[in-house]
């Protein structure tokens, strides 16, 4: 099971990095999921994840309170909305209706996910 958990942890770290770059995907949630898998497979990788300057604090808050700071939640909601609108607009401009619809579906899913998380 350890190799699978290390693979999944690394996959979610990759998604977290993408989320830091792409505004439609909040990154913190993916790093928290990665921490879950690393905690069960590699203490070294888990420790390295907790040592990341910005992310480590949020992972520790999540593990302690199962909640996220108000500022992080506000930022995640704002960038998800902006990213969803931007991708939908891009779909309209290019005539790619599928891109616009997928962006809206993904954006709504991410908004629901973030809104349901307790706020500190």
Type and span of the H or E element at 119: strand 118-119
Looking at residue 20, its pLDDT comes to 83
Compute CA 38 distance to the chain's CA centroid, rounded to the nearest angstrom.
16
pLDDT, one tens digit per residue, over 35-81 is 999 999 999 999 999 998 888 988 888 888 988 888 888 888 888 88
C-alpha 30/C-alpha 18 separation (Å) is 10
Residue-wise DSSP of 37-66? HHHTT-HHHHHHHHTSTTHHHHHHHHHHHS
Q: What share of the chain is helix, strand, coil (3-state, %, to 5)?
A: 80, 5, 15
């Amino acid at each position: 099971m350890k190799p699978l958990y290390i693979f999944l942890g690394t996959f979610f770290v990759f998604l977290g990095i993408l989320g830091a770059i792409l505004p439609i995907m909040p990154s913190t949630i993916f790093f928290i999921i990665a921490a879950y898998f690393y905690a069960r497979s590699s203490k070294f990788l888990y420790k390295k994840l907790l040592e990341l300057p910005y992310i480590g604090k949020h992972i520790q808050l999540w593990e302690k309170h199962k909640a996220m700071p108000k500022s992080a939640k506000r930022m995640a909601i704002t960038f998800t909305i902006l990213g969803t609108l931007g991708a939908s607009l891009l779909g309209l401009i290019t005539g790619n209706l599928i891109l616009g619809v997928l962006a809206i579906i993904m954006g709504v899913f991410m908004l629901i996910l973030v809104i349901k998380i307790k706020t500190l």
